Amino acid sequence: MKMEEVFKSYEDYVIPSYTKLPLIFVKGKGSYLWDVQGKKYLDFFPGFGAGNLGHCHTKVLSAVRDQIAKLVFVPNTYYNVPQAKLAKELNYWAKNDFKAFFCNSGAEANEAAIKLSRKFGQGRFEMITFENSFHGRTMAALSATGQTKYQQGFSPLVEGFKVVKFNDLNAVKSGITEDTVAVMLELVQGEGGINIANKDFILDLRKLCNEKKLLLIIDEVQTGVGRTGKMFAWQNYGIVPDIFTLAKSLAGGLPIGVMMARKDIADLLTPGTHASTFGGGPVISKAALAVLTAVADEKLLSKANKAGEYLLAELSKLQEKYPLIKDVRGLGLMCGLELDREGRPIVEACIKLGLLINCTHGSVLRIMPALGVSKKEIDKAVTILDKVLKEVK
């Protein structure tokens, strides 16, 4: 198919629910992507957060090849070995007593968390969520999301979500009623503009949830699997959540979602109460196991921390040079550069020079390279950004 034919086919046959860039990619390796014309790009936002290992990681490829030749799929009414191993391995990384529910996406994992909370609540059903949060596009996850722009046109929303100010314990306290059952949040809001939760706020929130018998749910869909320098972002905060959700990077670019729930509440989802046909299938589970092995073998957590420190320092130097950068912030390798203007033209200019980054929340450049990114690759990306910012009027 010629490029024009691809665009035309999308125009004619694909529902236009995405804002698209005119790029057609055909190959990926590590931090790089190649488009259909053979142009090479440095990808500093791989897979919209699903590329923590970079593109086409060899361990994931061989795990998938190996499993796909043996058994592609069995439903969850039977047992499969990779899922058993993956649940155990995730629990090992969480260093606590969790059980897993497997599904296919972040929104689905959050739906599972919402359903489990309602079971736990025995009539209490309200959840507190936060301004600028993002929890997914399915109806309950969308209703939990604290950004009205995603909800317009989809009323009535699912009832029972109260959105309060982020990082504000008093706001949480005043949102609690006798019907409240849980508090759900991202520790670094991704779609909301790389907003980092304060440590004191999280420690106090954990205490408050204990006092009021509320579940603390951490949405790790974007922050999980090493992105913030720990396997799970909550491990930066010295707390343990009651539930956390994973997706995006866990299976190296293949679709997965997981809800991890404290063992004593997990069993409330008794047989027949929740399900997902493809959740935790053998191929996906094997891919996720390979991802976890790669994170350990390749010391990706400490690499992400070091690379994150270096990247943030280099971005701060740009801030000194260019007053249009209002703030530079990040945790691990989840970095944001807040501008005093729309970020999309800058993203487009970077693309022309072969660098892929993202803009979220209108004016925040989101930069989240693969965890194993090299210093040389960071230097290259920062040089391109520097060139682009120099040209901005």
Ligand X SMILES: Cc1ncc(COP(=O)(O)O)c(C=O)c1O
**From the list 33, 221, 300, 333, which residue makes contact with ligand X (rule: CB under 6 A)?**
221
**Closer CB to ligand X, residue 42 or residue 194?**
194
**Closer CB to ligand X, residue 227 or residue 262?**
227
**Closer CB to ligand X, residue 52 or residue 105?**
105
**Closer CB to ligand X, residue 182 or residue 325?**
182
Measured N-to-C along each axis, helices 282-297 and 58-68 cross at an angle, to the nearest 10 degrees, of: 150
Could you tell me the two tokens for 242?
A: 């009651």
User: Can you say whether residue 361 is alpha, beta or left, with left for phi > 0 and alpha for psi between -120 and 50 degrees?
Assistant: left
DSSP designation for 41: E
**From the list 111, 126, 186, 242, which residue makes contact with ligand X (rule: CB under 6 A)?**
186
Instruction: Using DSSP bridges, classify how beta strands 358-360 and 364-367 pair: parallel, antiparallel or unpaired.
Output: antiparallel
The residue type at 35 = D
Considering only 27-35, 102-110, 150-158, 171-179, which stretch makes contact with ligand X by CB under 6 A?
102-110
Please tell me the distance from the alpha carbon of residue 1 to that of residue 26, in angstroms, as a whole number: 12
- As measured in angstroms, the least distance from the Cβ of 375 to ligand X is 28
Length of the chain counted residue by residue: 393
Considering only 88-96, 166-174, 184-192, 321-329, which stretch makes contact with ligand X by CB under 6 A?
184-192
**Closer CB to ligand X, residue 110 or residue 195?**
110
Considering only 214-222, 266-274, 309-317, 340-348, which stretch makes contact with ligand X by CB under 6 A?
214-222
- As measured in angstroms, the least distance from the Cβ of 357 to ligand X is 16
**From the list 83, 105, 305, 360, which residue makes contact with ligand X (rule: CB under 6 A)?**
105
- As measured in angstroms, the least distance from the Cβ of 91 to ligand X is 21
Distances 182 to 118, 160, 178, 266 between C-alpha atoms, Å: 9, 11, 11, 15
Please tell me the distance from the alpha carbon of residue 146 to that of residue 123, in angstroms, as a whole number: 23
What is the number of other CB atoms lying within 10 angstroms of the CB of residue 65? 11
The residues binding ligand X (CB under 6 A) are 105-107, 110, 134-136, 186, 190-191, 219, 221-222, 247
